[in-house]
A and B are shown apart, each in its own frame.
Chain A
Amino acid sequence: MNLYELSVSEIAKKIKEKEVTIKEVLDSTFSRIEQVEGKIDGYVTLMKESAYKRADNLQEKLNIGEDIGILGGVPIAVKDNICTDGTKTTCSSRMLENFVPFYNATVIEKLNDAGAIIIGKTNMDEFAMGSSTESSYFKKTKNPWNLEKVPGGSSGGSAAVVSSDMAYAALGTDTGGSIRQPASFCSVVGLKPTYGLVSRYGVVAYASSLDQVGPLTKNVEDCALMLNVLAGHDKKDTTSANLNSKDYTRAIVNDVKGKKIGILKKFVDEGVSKDIKQAYEDSIKVLEKAGAEIIEIDLDYIKYSLPVYYIIATAEASSNLGRYDGIRFGHRAKDFKDLDDLYVKSRTEGFGEEVKRRIMLGTYVLSSGYYDAFYKRASSVRTLIIEEFKKAFEKVDTIMIPTTPNTAFKFGEKTNNPLEMYLEDIYTVPVNIAGLPGISVPAEFDSNGMPIGMQFISNAFNEEVLLQVAYSFEQNIGLNENKPKL
């Protein structure tokens, strides 16, 4: 077995016990990148030089007996909307093509403190707006399981590089499913933590009341390990929750006896592929056999999640993206008549079609005459969705639904019909609207060999139960071959 194939916990242990040097680990990962990145196009920027420098420092510390942290020497990839001091952070947009942050996002500081080595920035849908990574200004990332298909999005680069062993784990961001959906499409684990659990400081904003950072990993245990590093209060993020820290790895226990799992059969009925419906049935049986109590529940309002999401997210985006004016940073047009023309030309040239469409939609739903009918109404339906979930969690510990209604689609298949692309997010957006944690775990493959993920949802700040059920599911589903052939 090659070193790059190992999990975070396995490689961290090997490094700590000096079975391998950190340089050997980096050599292995970068040779893997050299071998397959040409096919996958998962990275926007590689950080080889700084990674080797850091490896030397960490190895020196380790050699004199210092503790180098729980991620000591482990190569990690980061989505390109998370600010890295001195390394370009582009959001896969022409607007930020040359933007070099002069500070680290809090999650980057936390990774550094835990001894991780950041090896590169991953491709994404422009400004995290999309479900296929096709809206990147730079390149199209391919799904490692079928190079003619999309990896999902918007954290498509992160999912693809973990799935193809070009990083041991990656950070993504999730506003409407952008961690879980690509994780599902690429057969890796992806966690969107509870809103407020992980700091958003230094993460380029899309929709601030929905955005959350989380890990994409090869297994559930690594996910818990990463969450231990990422979670925690940050005074630089005013929406950060101030709670006692927890050791999430304690939830890595294969036991669902007596756990109440809610299922939503009516919700998972129309518009879902036959294979995924079957995988859902199979997954229910697996958990039942492992001793979980399966409870069928009905949620009346979640069917409205998509319109609520597209109103709230675009409204917040239209405001957040107002900062790109071509003045202080970002793209500035060369030819303009006056100041107003500079704004208009810089923004029109700097943003891609999907981003412009969402800014305009957001402006529309907030504009005079439409605010009440759209934004205010959507925010009220949001309340109903939150309350409905709260009631459900009085009866069940977690809810299980598929992560997506379909497996990965072909390039260009949905780009001309944005609404059709949006419908792919139907199972993931309710979680963001209610601020809940959700995790996607590889379950099966469809008849074309494309990965299917199951999603688990729990009450806010109850990641332990989520991880325990997800881990038990992973151990019992019996997915043995989970590496794409590249």
Chain B
Amino acid sequence: MSVSKEEIYHIAKLSKLEVSENKIDDLTMKISDIVDFSNTLAQVNVDGVKPTAHILDIKNVFKKDEIEPSFDREKILQNAPEAQGGCVSVPKVVE
């Protein structure tokens, strides 16, 4: 397999996801399949070809730095899992 179990655990860590032991074999196989399939791109000669990040010919779209009405704080906080005193509340960050 083109991708190892160790690599899958490492990617999971980078992605802030947990992979349980009973799923690791299946996941490694499925991701390896897709990676192998993607390796067909190695056949294409891309020397001197500029990569495309975006299909439209626009860049650096700025808007004027003007004050506009924003969203209502209470409404925004209604979607927060926990809120307190007009702020989103989070667990202790600094030990």
Contact = CB atoms under 8 A, between A and B. Distances in A.
In this complex, the interface size class of chain B, counting residues with CB under 8 Å from chain A, is 35 or more
Interface string A94-106: 0000111011000
Interface stretch (A174-182, A198-206, A378-386, A403-411): A378-386
B80 interface: yes
28 contacts: A195-B55, A239-B58, A307-B37, A307-B38, A326-B81, A327-B81, A328-B79, A328-B88, A329-B81, A332-B81, A344-B17, A345-B18, A360-B27, A363-B15, A364-B3, A364-B11, A364-B35, A373-B42, A376-B51, A377-B46, A379-B51, A379-B53, A380-B51, A381-B44, A383-B52, A419-B33, A434-B55, A460-B55
A364 B32 CA distance: 11
Contact of B41 (A235, A308, A340, A359): A308
When A and B form their complex, which 7 residue pairs have the shortest distance between CB atoms, in order from nearest?
A435-B55, A379-B51, A332-B81, A329-B79, A380-B46, A238-B61, A102-B75
A339 interface: yes
Interface in B55-95: 55-56, 58, 61, 63, 71-72, 75-76, 78-82, 88, 90-93
Contacts of B31: 357, 360-361, 364
B12 interface: yes
Interface of A: 98-100, 102-103, 195-196, 209, 235, 238-239, 241, 301, 304, 306-308, 310-311, 318, 325-332, 336, 338-340, 342-345, 347-348, 351, 356-357, 359-361, 363-365, 367, 373-374, 376-384, 386, 418-419, 422, 434-435, 460
B56 A311 contact: no
Contact of A311 (B14, B38, B49, B50): B38
A384 B52 CA distance: 9
Nearest to A348: B18
Contact of A435 (B56, B72, B82, B88): B56
Given A307-B38, A381-B41, A418-B30, A363 B14 contact: yes
Given A307-B37, A327-B90, A384 B51 contact: no
A209 B11 contact: no
Contact of B16 (A98, A239, A311, A343): A343
A28 B60 CA distance: 49
Contacts of B25: none
Given A304-B44, A339-B91, A360 B49 contact: no
B84 to A, nearest CB: 13
A332 B82 CA distance: 9
Contacts of B93: 339
A232 B30 CA distance: 41
Given A103-B71, A301-B44, A304-B44, A382 B11 contact: no
B49 A383 contact: yes
Contacts of A361: 31, 34-35
B54 A209 contact: yes
A235 B63 contact: yes
A448 to B, nearest CB: 29
Contacts of B75: 102
B72 A102 contact: yes
B90 to A, nearest CB: 6
Given A360-B8, A360-B17, A382-B51, A374 B37 contact: no
Nearest to B88: A328
B37 to A, nearest CB: 6
A366 to B, nearest CB: 9
Contacts of A343: 16
Given A235-B63, A307-B40, A374-B38, A360 B11 contact: yes
B9 to A, nearest CB: 10
A328 B80 contact: yes
A119 to B, nearest CB: 24
B34 A379 contact: no
Nearest to B40: A307
A81 to B, nearest CB: 16
A320 to B, nearest CB: 13
A306 B63 CA distance: 36
A241 B57 CA distance: 10
Nearest to B20: A348
